[in-house]
Structure formats: structure tokens, C-alpha cells
Structure 1
């Protein structure tokens, strides 16, 4: 069964990005650039990526991907990527990017089919992951807690998910980060 996994990094006080959607705080943390063996193993199991428009725009602009599309595989490989957005977005030339809007349930059958026998990585942001949780489609939250705090920013998961829905299944030290993995009870069977 194809699973939907929200795998992200957060500050110690629960922010994914600053108020301007920047991830600079993450890349300033030791090991924040990712790429360790565990992440590579995780990525190998992903058949599709799903992003919100703010995440997509930040990576696009931060790496100047429209001008340098050859950098995209270094981030995500050749996996199809869905970007949920309510506005027109630039396209990275030669990359399989599909734009969607509205209810995530409507796009799920096509996303699941494209993933084949692999899983779906909900890259970010928190509200998009929350929409998958609301729809009963989010199976796992895997969060790396960084040695950083922000005064304000974009919250990890702007939803109420209590202990009745979350089950801690793994804890791992990854350099300066603490990685927590939760499964969601009540996700589709």
C-alpha cells in the first residue's frame, strides 16, 4: 500500500520556516543540508513528491532552478512532483511538475498511481500536510527537530492532532537533530 509521509525539519519551538517562508535557519544548523544515509534510504522509497506553493517557490528561488534546472535532481531526483497552489507558478524546464488545487482527495488517486509501489513524500508545508491528515490520507509524520528556534514563522502542523491519533514509533539522534516518527491512527486502511 502506498503511504503518504510528511518528512520535514522543524525548529525546537515548532516552526518549519520563518515569516518569509525561508529555510535559511535550517541550512545554518550543523547537518541541516541533509543527505545522510538514512535520508537517502528514505528518498529511495519515495515515488512521488507533493509540495505546497510556498515550499516550491522557496526552493525554486533559493536554487534559481528555472535558470539551472540541472540542480533539481540533486534535491529530488526524477520523481513526479505535485505542487498544490492557487496561483500560477513558474515551471522548472524538463522536470515532471504537476500543479493541482483544491481538495487533496481529488488528486490522491493520480498521485498514488504515479507512486507505483513506492510511497509519497509530503515535502511541505505544514498546512498541506494537515490537509492530508484531515482527509485521512496521511500515514506518517517524520520530523527532525533542529537545534534552532525562531520568534515566529510557519507552524509545523497547524492542526489539532492529539495522542489519540499519533503513535510514536521511532526516535533517532541524527547529528545535532532529534528525529521523531509518528504513525497516524485513523488513516485510510
Structure 2
């Protein structure tokens, strides 16, 4: 049986982005050593990533390398996605 693990970033109001669609509050913590709680450590433990369409569109639009090349990615969406990655 598969195990389901969750790793969620959210501000205290329950959202990940500000009302201006900014993630600056989250990115200011990059580079901080979180030990076993670090996202990169978590990512090495999983085989499948499930994300919403808004998250996918945001990540796919970033110039940084695709972080999920070692995982299967399932995008929850009601619209078709072009295969750019």
C-alpha cells in the first residue's frame, strides 16, 4: 500500500501567495538549513508529486530548472496543459 506524505507551504492566513500573487515571503527562507524538514530532503523520499494547476503554471513559468525531473507529476486541472517541460 502506498503512503501519502504532505509538504505544504502556507502563510498564517492559509494562502501560499499574497493578494498580488507574490511568493516573496516564502523565498526569503531559501538557503536556511532545515535538516530533515528541508523540502529537498522530502523530495528525495517521494515518487509522485500532486499539484494544482495554478502551482504548475507558476513553476513552469519560472526560469529555474524543473525541480521534479525524478518524480511523476500529476496536475489537478480542468483545462488541458501544453507539454513544454
| TM-score, L = length of structure 2 | 0.72
Identify the residue that residue 58 of structure 1 maps to in structure 2.
58
Shift of 1:52: 0.6
Distance (whole Å) between structure 2 residues aligned to residue 47 and residue 34 of structure 1? 25
Does 2:10 correspond to 1:10?
yes
The structure whose residues are more often strand, as a share, is: 1
Q: Hey, what's the Cα distance between the residues in 2 that align with 1:2 and 1:57? A: 27
- CA apart distance, 1:14: 2.3
Residue 25 (structure 2) aligns with: 25
2:49–2:74 CA contact under 8 A, matched in 1 = yes
| Structure 1: stretches of 5+ with no match in the other structure | 66-70, 94-189
Q: Distance in 2 between matches of 1:36 and 1:79?
A: 22
Of structures 1 and 2, the larger Rg is shown by 1
Match of 1:84 among 54, 65, 76: 76
Structure 2 equivalent of residue 165 of structure 1? none
Post-superposition shift, 1:22?
Answer: 3.6
Do the aligned residues in 1 keep the contact of 2:47 with 2:70 (CA within 8 Å)? no
What RMSD, in angstroms, separates the aligned Cα atoms of the two structures? Answer: 2.5
SS of 2:70 mapped into structure 1: coil
Normalising to structure 1: TM-score of the pair?
0.37
SS in 2 for 1:16: coil
Say if 1:48 and 1:79, in contact at 8 Å, map to a contact too. yes
